[in-house]
A and B are shown apart, each in its own frame.
Chain A
């Protein structure tokens, strides 16, 4: 069964086309790594799926999934290095899409605690976000995205600026979410290093050709080139 279908999707900004006529379907349980050089349209595609930009033509069809119930984890773009926020405050904000009233109820608070436990960050609950290590911060942001969804996570270069140990740790967590909790994952990665190709499928965006298929097939092709 598929969660999302892209039909002839063309995306861009002010008549400048970045991605042309993309057709693909994202199946339930997939783990898709999106690779490609800078400017190839990785982020644009994500924005299109999230509905942050309108398609120039074509459409995105969501099956059993509402657009604002996708757990998006943007690249860390904190403007203020001393931003006053506790881990709990941040993760809690991930539940805002289910919130019908102005205030959080026990349901949201329970969800936050269980997701923090799942990612092993429950001890950081009252810590200041800015005092955490890079790896810990990414887990906090991952927990926030997880609160927004039970089906699909979209991660934008989550391992950027992480040392190899934290990166490995983060990837293990993400793989577990995919396998044990059956959460579909789309992850943008910046380099084609094999360690980064942890999903079952690859979407490779390059100016001359777009590849979408299994990771095995992609690796085979790269070796042939």
Chain B
């Protein structure tokens, strides 16, 4: 217990705590729609683009977040557009974008010789969270939560059946763009903490875990929020106590919760 009290005397831990909880919450909400529409790889692709952008920004001495955010958002539009009407298959396109961004990122960094940050970008670091990150994540969370509260029914309709939603006059394109932008912001902010290789798990795990047990859309949404934030809190505290990397500890907690839910659902189905 004294460990935990001591932990919160560090200001970087408090910053990580605030940003982490908010990002986990947003990631889980956006994740429900992405996962159920089989778009969860978008999050993964964007995180690699984010890595490339961060690497270039650090070489050029730009503030990483201001540089990475527009690039990631643009890439998300590109993925959405090409997904809609292209001959390239969505999955392969994302894989292409991911590996190219990783390559460009590492290439740029190695040429210029600045490579101290690479590990942080790939696996995250709680030391890198700035005050700007806190402000953006608070604004983002307010926006995402109100979007979910006030457009919940439309989000359900689009996620379940986009064609029908369109036919009754819902502006599905607007929501697709909105989700792409929000996903980009979540990825860029979350990357600092979780690293570009691990951030997509925050988007994917909570929904998949919830779906093991819950069969209603509303229950899955609520359960995802709870699982996501609790896994983050347990993960952050354990990483402090065990002295392990934060990002991977959080992912492992998410994995454990997933396994527990899977076992419970198997036991349920046997009964």
Interface residues of A (CB under 8 A from B): 50, 52, 67-70, 72-74, 77-80, 82-86, 89-90, 92-94, 96-97, 99, 102-104, 128, 130-131, 144-145, 148
Contact = CB atoms under 8 A, between A and B. Distances in A.
B168 A89 contact: no
B128 interface: no
7 contacts: A50-B167, A69-B168, A72-B163, A78-B160, A80-B36, A89-B156, A102-B149
Nearest to A50: B167
B150 interface: yes
Contacts of A130: 215
Contacts of B215: 84-86, 128, 130-131
Contact of A79 (B37, B151, B154): B37
Given A74-B163, A83-B36, A89-B156, A97 B168 contact: yes
Nearest to B37: A79
Interface stretch (B16-24, B100-108, B190-198, B217-225): B217-225
B149 A74 contact: no
Contacts of A97: 168-169
A93 B163 contact: no
Nearest to B218: A89
B62 interface: no
B84 interface: no
Give the contact-size bracket for chain B.
Answer: 20 to 34
A104 B153 contact: yes
A104 B165 CA distance: 16
B163 A68 contact: no
Given A80-B38, A96-B157, A102 B218 contact: no
A94 B165 CA distance: 8
B170 interface: yes
B214 interface: yes
A74 B219 CA distance: 26
A132 to B, nearest CB: 12
B89 to A, nearest CB: 15
B166 A77 contact: no
B161 interface: yes
A85 B214 CA distance: 9
B175 interface: no
Chain A CB count within 10 A is highest, among B150, B161, B211, B214, for: B161
Contacts of A93: 153, 156-157, 160-161, 164-165
